[in-house]
Structure 1
Amino acid sequence: MGMTMTQKILAKKAGLDSVVAGQLIQAKLDIVMGNDITTAVALKEFQKTGASEVFDKEKVVIVLDHFTPNKDIKAAEQCKSCRTFAYDMGVKNFFDVGKAGIEHALLPEQGIVVPGQAIIGADSHTCTYGALGAFSTGIGSTDMAIGMATGEAWFKVPSAIKFNVIGKKQSHVSGKDVILHIIGMIGVDGALYRSMEFTGEGIAELTMDDRFTIANMAIEAGAKNGIFPVDEACLAYTKAHATKAYEVFEADDDAEYDEEIIIDLSTLEPTISFPHLPDNTRTIGEVGEVIIDQVVIGSCTNGRLDDMKIAADILRGKQVAEKVRTIVIPATQEIYLDCIKLGYVEDFINAGAIFSMPTCGPCLGGHMGILAAGERCVSTTNRNFVGRMGHVESEVYLASPAVAAASAIAGKIADPRNI
């Protein structure tokens, strides 16, 4: 019996010729990552292991991004503990304020993650790196601690769903619309502990930023990971950002999948996820009149340069609605500088938006965009649970950068094709 991409990577990292779905394995890790919130918890568990140093100073990555620049004393103490640990342990890939960014955009940009790796991160959206043909998955702080100490983790080998992508995207349809469509189709537990494996001729229609967005939200369908084939676009991205060695894995022709789902890009429309679950989706024509108070464009899901360009192109020469607070957050310092050089920052500010430093910020109700009771926000983030962005009586509508920018102008959820 053949293996899927994910199974091939896990077999290699476990030192086995083959693995099957449901098998328990111990695998060697290429990257162990944590952020300011989860690392602070992991440090206590790391001490319990008795380890005096991390397993590899190059392979442990710590990024301060969630509550930074520090929003309060508790956040400052968390970051201080991470900072002290990183310096004491000689962690090479430590990203603090000034050179940090949102972790899941930063690691690919810095060439830290590459095809064929096995990556764990104490953040659920670590599955983002599957866009590069790597196995990457989110874990808890305890597993992070053990990973930092030993360089290994145990996994139950996941079965897989094959998503056969065909067709060409319509105007103003992006990776966000693709993944919201999929989650709306299969549900928030539709891929529970399974690998979402993307293939097909339509993959060539998806930019790398599209793929990062889709892989990022695999967890919102309950998946263990999402993964894309390593094609020319992926190799070009890898060679532009990384110098480390990588390995390309391909699914066997006789790989076994639980099911196959066809995604025809030509049929997709801008898609919005209504409160309070990502699978509560509607196409733009089904939305109706939804008046909004705030728009957030950014996050690990949609804070990349393509996302900034899409939003800037729509906002350029226009004004956001008087009652809509519009917050634009680039995902990394490099993207921040590119937005300045390309004139996007001027477009945002002239339109009446604000432009922030890289941070997770409002995505998880951290800071810089908290909602009051009764307020509604269109956001390019990844979750719209009750109270996710502030008060439990607020509402978050997930959308693409195009829909978010159009909605900022209209003062309500709007079709970017009509702005």
Structure 2
Amino acid sequence: DMACIWAKGSLWLKVPESIRLIVTGNTGKGVFAKDVALAMVSKIGSMGADYCCIEFHGSYIERASLSERFTLCNMAAETGAKCAVTPREILPDQNARYIKTLEIDAKRLEPLVAMPHSVDNIVPVTDIEGTRIDQAFLGSCTNGRLDDLQVAASILEKKRVNRNTRMIVTPASMDVYLKAMRLGIIEKLMRAGAVVTNPGCGPCLGAHQGVLGEREVCISSSNRNFRGRMGAADAKIFLASPATVAASAIEGKITDPRRFLT
């Protein structure tokens, strides 16, 4: 590909077909953009959008913040999508063609968790509540932004991470880290017993700062839970929202975040 660019000044790319995903309604207590994203993966499947473009539409998308739209588009990769967009100023053609149209009613969702070892192995948190964890990880390109840290800090404030659980928080960027420090978010997380690392990928890819040992169990706000993704091949990774991660860190087991939200 690079040689072609050097020689021709251009690169051949296949134009992906489009899938229209309409998300409507307001989310209820304890349900966040990550839960909507997991509902999307559950509906489409881990390879159901292979080489396609997912277009997000609907009243939920129109109200979603930039950070929430980041989470949705980021998780679209887990369906095999080549790209994902949330049209705002630039809209699709009136006669645009889609290979399929899917719908999600956000108000009917509850907190969700992706179970090992596939991102589309998704169940309500209430189905597996009480599963013991060794580690809770908050961060990654999916959910390491300021609002993610804020919701976790609001749950952890004046509480403590379970003595048998370690919680690792990795801000997505230095900008996020500095803003979180100025707002007192980092202090709240650290006073609760979380370990806050330097910005980056952290343990998401199993390289450092929280690599899982043999048979360890982790609940993570990241986007992938393949076998061996975060360390040992026999470790188990559950994916959930930052709120569910924070609530689980307090209890030392997978926990419904609605218990800690007013």
Q: Please state which band the TM-score falls in when normalised by the shorter chain.
A: over 0.9
- Aligned residue among 25, 43, 46 for 1:167: 25
**Residues 1:311 and 2:169 are matched in the alignment:** no
Q: Is residue 166–residue 203 contact of structure 1 (8 Å, CA) maintained in 2?
A: yes
The worse-fitting range, judged by mean Cα deviation, of 195-204 and 364-373 is 195-204
Which residue in the other structure is 1:285 paired with?
A: 126
Of structures 1 and 2, the one with the larger relative CO (CA 8 A, separation 6+) is: 2
Quick one: distance in 1 between partners of 2:4 and 2:216? 41
Quick one: distance in 2 between partners of 1:374 and 1:404? 19
Residue type matched to 1:272 in 2? V
- Aligned residue among 393, 396, 400 for 2:237: 396
How many pairs are equivalent? 260
**Residues 1:257 and 2:98 are matched in the alignment:** yes
**Residues 1:212 and 2:63 are matched in the alignment:** no
Quick one: distance in 2 between partners of 1:316 and 1:178? 25
Per-residue deviation, residues 16-40 of structure 1 (Å, max 9, x unmatched): xxxxxxxxxxxxxxxxxxxxxxxxx
Quick one: distance in 2 between partners of 1:277 and 1:148? 39
Q: CA deviation at 1:152?
A: 4.0
Q: Helix, strand or coil for the counterpart of 2:219?
A: strand
Taking the TM superposition and a 5 Å limit, the aligned residue runs for 1:6-17 are none
Alpha-carbon spacing, 1:252–1:343, altered in 2? closer, same or farther (3 Å) = same
Q: Larger Rg: 1 or 2?
A: 1
State the TM-score, normalized to the length of structure 1: 0.60
Q: CA deviation at 1:288?
A: 3.7
Taking the TM superposition and a 5 Å limit, the aligned residue runs for 1:48-127 are none
Q: Helix, strand or coil for the counterpart of 1:214?
A: helix
Q: Is residue 129–residue 253 contact of structure 2 (8 Å, CA) maintained in 1?
A: no
State the TM-score, normalized to the length of structure 2: 0.95
**Residues 1:376 and 2:234 are matched in the alignment:** no
Q: Is residue 298–residue 330 contact of structure 1 (8 Å, CA) maintained in 2?
A: yes
Which residue in the other structure is 1:223 paired with?
A: 81
- Aligned residue among 269, 272, 291 for 2:113: 272
Identity of aligned residues (%): 45
Q: Is residue 297–residue 380 contact of structure 1 (8 Å, CA) maintained in 2?
A: yes
Quick one: distance in 2 between partners of 1:399 and 1:365? 18
Alpha-carbon spacing, 1:145–1:175, altered in 2? closer, same or farther (3 Å) = farther
Which residue in the other structure is 1:178 paired with?
A: 36
Alpha-carbon spacing, 1:374–1:170, altered in 2? closer, same or farther (3 Å) = same
Quick one: distance in 2 between partners of 1:410 and 1:148? 56
RMSD: 1.6
Quick one: distance in 1 between partners of 2:110 and 2:188? 26
Q: Is residue 129–residue 256 contact of structure 2 (8 Å, CA) maintained in 1?
A: no
Quick one: distance in 2 between partners of 1:220 and 1:406? 25
Residue type matched to 1:189 in 2? M
Which residue in the other structure is 1:336 paired with?
A: 177
Which stretches in structure 2 are left out of the alignment for 5+ residues?
none
Quick one: distance in 1 between partners of 2:7 and 2:184? 45
Alpha-carbon spacing, 1:379–1:145, altered in 2? closer, same or farther (3 Å) = farther
Residue type matched to 2:63 in 1? E
Q: CA deviation at 1:153?
A: 3.0
Quick one: distance in 2 between partners of 1:207 and 1:322? 35
Which stretches in structure 1 are left out of the alignment for 5+ residues?
1-142, 231-247
Q: CA deviation at 1:353?
A: 0.6
